[in-house]
C-alpha cells in the first residue's frame, strides 16, 4: 500500500470513529437526521451535509423558526403550510398532514403535503372506527400506522410503505383533529411531534374563538345580519367608496308593522320569530351587492351600492312583495314600511343620511296607517316643509339624534335655501318653523301663536298702519325661533335653571336673529322683534342691555304680549295666573321692564283676549 492510500484509509477510520463517539443528540439539544437524501437548502443550508451522512440540526434555530410560525399566522391552514415547510427543509418527511374535524359533516378533512411539495385532500368518516386516524381522534391517543393506507390516497404510490404517526389535536380536553407525520426514523422525534401538535391544537382553537368573537361583535344574534355598529361602519366605508367613484347609493330602512302589538299580545318570542323570518327573507331576495343589517328592533337597513333612487324603490318593492307572501300563524299577512335616502342627492353626510331615511320611513308608516298597505317613500317624494314631513323630521331630531343636531346644517339650512315667492308662502314656512319649536318645547305649545295674536291686537289698538301690523304679527310669531338652537334638556327642565343654563337660554334672541333670519333677506325687517323682545326699558334686559328708545317699538310690543301669555299659561312649577293678576304684574313692571304706555293700552284690551291656551 502506498503512502497516499495509507493516508486515505487513516482518514476514513478517524471519521468513522468520530461518528461512533457522538453523544445523545437530545442531551446536547440537537437533532440528528439520518435521512440520506436531504440536500442543502437556503434556510438551513449550513446544517445539511453530503449524501449518506448524518445531518446535524440546530434545535434552537428550528424552535425559533416554528415559534415565528405560531406568532405570525392567524389561519390554521397557513400555519400548517409554514410548519410543514420548516419540517420538510430540516427533517425531510415523507409527508405531513393535518386533519380537522367538521362537526356538521362528521368528517375529518385532511390536507397532506408530500416530500415533493405536492398537496392532496381526502376525507375520513368518523364512523370508520377501524381506521387508525379515527382511533386517534376518538380516543385522543397517538396511533401508529406501518403505511399510509389509513389516508385512502392511492396517489401516494411511491410512499405507501412509509410508516406514519397520528397524533390527536387536543385543546382544553376537546379533540379537534389529527396531525400526521411520516418519516423513516422509528418515532425518534415523537415527543417533538407531539409538542408541535399540541401547540397547533391550541392555536387552532384560538383562531376559532377569535373568529367567533369577531362574528359576535359584528353580527346581530337574532337575525344573523350585521348589527347596528357594523352597519354604520359599512355605511361609512360606502360613503368613502361612492365619493371616490362619484356614484350614487341608497340607504333604506324597512319596518315591520305592529311588532309592538305582536310582542304585547303573543309574546316577545313570537315577535323574535317574525323578525328572524323577515330578515331571512330579505337576505334571500336581496342582491349580492347589497349590505344588510339590523338597524334597531324591528327595523332592517339595506345599503345599496351604485343604485339610483328608481332602482332602489324597485328593489324595495320586490323585497316587500316577497315579504307579503310570508304568512305567520295567528298573524296572517304582515305589512311593511320603507324609507329611502340617497347619497349624495339627499345628503353626503352619514348621520343625516340615516336621519332622512328615518324621516321617509315615518312618513311611509303614516301613509300605511291610512291606506292599510305596505308603503315605500324616498326623500324625493315629499316636500320638506310639508307639515307631516317636518313633524317627522323634528321628532327624529329631538328624540333620537339630539346630540347630532346642528341648526345650521338641518332645519335652518333648509329654511335658507327656500325661495319665498309670496306672503302666503312666507307665512306657511314661518308656521312650519314655529311648529318645530312646539315640538321641542312642549311646555310652551301654542305660545308663539298666542303672542302673535296679542301683538297684533295691541298694534291695532295703537292704530298702527296695516302693513306694520302684519309685520309685527309675523315677527311675534317668530320671536322665540332661536329656541330651536337651545338644548332640549334646558328647554324642558321642570325646575329652575342654573346660572349656566340660564346663560344658554338667554342666547336664543341672538340665535333667532343672526342664524335664522339674517341669512334670509326677505325676513330682515323681522329681526328687531326677534333680537330685542327681552330688552327692558330700564336697561336690565338681555342680550344687549338696551333701554328706553334704544329698543324698537315693535320689539316693545312683542315683549308685553310675550310676558302676558307667559303669566297666564300653566308651567310645570305653577298654574297660570288669572287675567287680573297678570295685569297687576304688568302694571308693577311698567316703566321698568315694559313700556308704560304699551302696558296701559294692553290692559284695556286684555279681558277681550281671554283664552284657554
Which ranges in the chain are annotated with CATH 1.10.3210.10? 402-613
Does the model's pTM come out above 0.85? no
- Count the alpha carbons within 13 Å of 496 in the hemisphere toward its beta carbon: 2
Region 433-447: mean pLDDT is 65
In this predicted structure, the answer to whether residue 340 has a pLDDT above a threshold of 90 is yes
CATH of domain 77-215: 3.30.450.40
Query: Terminal CA-to-CA distance of the chain, rounded, Å?
Result: 133
Peptide bond into 311 cis (omega under 30): no
Which range in 3-17, 253-267, 346-360, 569-583 is most confidently predicted, on average pLDDT?
346-360
Cα(89)–Cα(38) distance, integer angstroms: 8
Contact yes or no for 319/284 (Cβ under 8 A): no
Beta strand spans in 44-87 (E): 55-58
CATH of domain 402-613: 1.10.3210.10
Tell me the pLDDT tens digit for each residue of 457-483: 999 999 999 999 999 999 999 898 888
Residues 6 or more apart whose CB falls under 8 angstroms from that of 139 comprise: 168
Which ranges in the chain are annotated with CATH 3.30.450.40? 77-215
User: What pLDDT, on a 0 to 100 scale, did the predictor assign at position 410?
Assistant: 58
Tell me the pLDDT tens digit for each residue of 211-258: 766 656 788 889 989 999 899 999 999 999 999 999 999 999 999 887
User: What pLDDT, on a 0 to 100 scale, did the predictor assign at position 48?
Assistant: 36
Cα(20)–Cα(22) distance, integer angstroms: 6
Question: If you classify domain 219-382 with CATH, what class do you get?
Answer: alpha beta
Tell me the pLDDT tens digit for each residue of 558-609: 999 999 999 998 876 678 899 999 999 999 999 999 999 999 999 999 999 8
Peptide bond into 546 cis (omega under 30): no
Contact yes or no for 521/546 (Cβ under 8 A): no
Least confident of 348-352, 380-384, 476-480: 380-384
Amino acid at each position: 500500500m502506498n503512502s497516499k492510500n495509507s493516508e486515505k484509509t487513516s482518514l476514513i477510520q478517524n471519521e468513522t470513529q468520530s461518528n461512533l463517539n457522538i453523544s445523545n443528540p437530545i442531551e446536547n439539544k440537537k437533532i440528528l437526521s439520518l435521512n440520506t437524501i436531504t440536500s442543502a437548502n437556503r434556510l438551513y443550508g449550513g446544517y445539511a451535509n453530503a449524501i449518506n451522512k448524518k445531518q446535524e440540526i440546530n434545535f434552537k434555530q428550528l424552535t425559533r423558526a416554528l415559534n415565528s410560525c405560531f406568532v405570525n399566522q392567524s389561519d390554521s391552514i397557513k400555519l400548517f403550510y409554514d410548519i410543514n415547510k420548516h419540517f420538510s427543509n430540516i427533517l425531510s418527511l415523507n409527508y405531513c398532514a393535518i386533519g380537522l374535524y367538521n362537526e356538521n359533516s362528521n368528517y375529518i378533512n385532511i390536507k397532506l403535503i408530500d416530500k415533493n411539495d405536492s398537496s392532496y385532500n381526502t376525507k375520513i368518516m368518523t364512523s370508520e372506527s377501524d381506521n387508525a386516524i379515527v382511533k386517534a381522534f376518538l380516543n385522543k391517543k397517538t396511533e401508529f400506522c406501518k403505511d399510509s393506507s389509513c389516508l385512502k390516497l392511492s396517489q401516494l404510490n411511491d410512499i405507501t410503505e412509509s410508516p406514519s404517526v397520528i397524533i390527536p389535536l387536543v385543546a382544553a380536553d376537546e379533540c379537534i383533529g389529527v396531525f400526521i407525520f411520516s418519516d423513516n426514523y422509528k418515532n425518534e422525534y415523537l415527543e417533538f411531534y407531539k409538542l408541535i401538535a399540541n401547540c397547533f391544537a391550541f392555536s387552532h382553537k384560538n383562531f376559532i374563538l377569535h373568529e367567533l368573537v369577531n362574528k359576535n361583535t359584528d353580527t346581530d344574534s337574532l337575525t344573523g345580519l350585521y348589527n347596528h355598529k357594523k352597519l354604520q361602519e359599512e355605511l361609512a366605508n360606502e360613503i368613502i367608496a361612492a365619493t371616490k367613484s362619484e356614484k350614487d347609493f341608497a340607504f333604506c330602512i324597512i319596518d315591520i308593522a305592529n311588532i309592538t302589538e305582536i310582542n304585547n299580545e303573543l309574546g316577545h318570542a313570537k315577535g323574535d320569530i317574525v323578525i328572524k323570518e323577515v330578515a331571512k327573507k330579505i337576505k334571500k331576495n336581496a342582491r349580492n351587492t347589497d349590505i344588510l343589517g339590523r338597524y334597531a328592533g324591528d327595523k332592517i337597513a339595506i345599503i345599496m351600492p351604485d343604485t339610483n333612487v328608481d332602482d332602489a324603490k324597485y328593489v324595495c318593492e320586490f323585497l316587500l312583495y316577497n315579504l307579503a307572501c310570508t304568512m305567520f300563524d295567528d298573524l296572517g299577512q304582515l305589512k311593511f314600511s320603507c324609507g329611502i335616502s340617497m347619497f349624495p342627492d339627499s345628503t353626503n353626510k352619514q348621520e343625516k343620511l340615516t336621519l332622512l331615511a328615518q324621516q321617509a320611513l315615518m312618513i311611509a308608516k303614516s301613509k300605511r296607517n291610512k291606506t292599510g298597505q305596505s308603503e315605500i317613500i324616498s326623500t324625493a317624494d315629499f316636500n320638506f316643509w310639508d307639515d307631516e314631513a317636518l313633524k317627522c323630521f323634528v321628532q327624529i331630531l329631538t328624540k333620537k339624534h339630539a346630540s347630532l343636531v346642528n341648526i345650521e346644517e338641518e332645519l335652518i339650512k333648509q329654511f335658507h335655501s327656500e325661495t319665498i315667492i309670496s306672503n302666503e308662502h312666507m307665512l306657511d314656512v314661518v308656521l312650519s318653523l314655529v311648529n318645530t319649536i312646539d315640538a321641542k318645547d312642549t311646555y310652551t305649545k301654542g305660545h308663539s301663536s298666542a303672542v302673535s295674536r296679542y301683538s297684533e291686537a295691541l298694534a291695532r289698538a295703537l292704530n298702527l298702519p296695516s302693513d306694520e301690523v302684519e309685520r309685527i304679527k309675523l315677527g311675534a310669531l317668530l320671536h322665540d325661533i332661536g329656541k330651536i338652537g337651545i338644548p332640549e334638556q334646558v328647554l324642558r327642565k321642570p325646575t329652575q335653571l342654573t346660572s349656566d343654563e340660564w346663560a344658554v337660554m338667554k342666547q336664543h334672541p341672538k340665535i333667532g336673529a343672526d342664524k335664522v333670519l339674517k341669512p334670509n333677506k326677505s325676513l330682515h325687517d323681522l329681526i328687531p322683534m326677534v333680537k330685542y323682545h327681552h330688552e327692558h326699558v330700564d336697561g336690565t334686559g338681555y342680550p344687549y342691555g338696551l333701554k328706553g328708545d334704544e329698543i324698537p317699538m315693535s320689539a316693545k310690543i312683542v315683549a308685553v304680549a310675550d310676558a302676558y301669555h307667559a303669566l297666564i299659561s300653566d308651567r310645570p312649577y305653577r298654574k297660570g295666573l288669572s287675567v287680573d293678576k297678570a295685569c297687576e304684574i304688568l302694571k308693577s313692571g311698567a316703566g321698568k321692564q315694559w313700556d308704560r304706555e304699551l302696558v296701559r293700552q294692553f290692559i284695556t284690551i286684555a279681558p277681550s283676549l281671554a283664552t284657554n291656551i
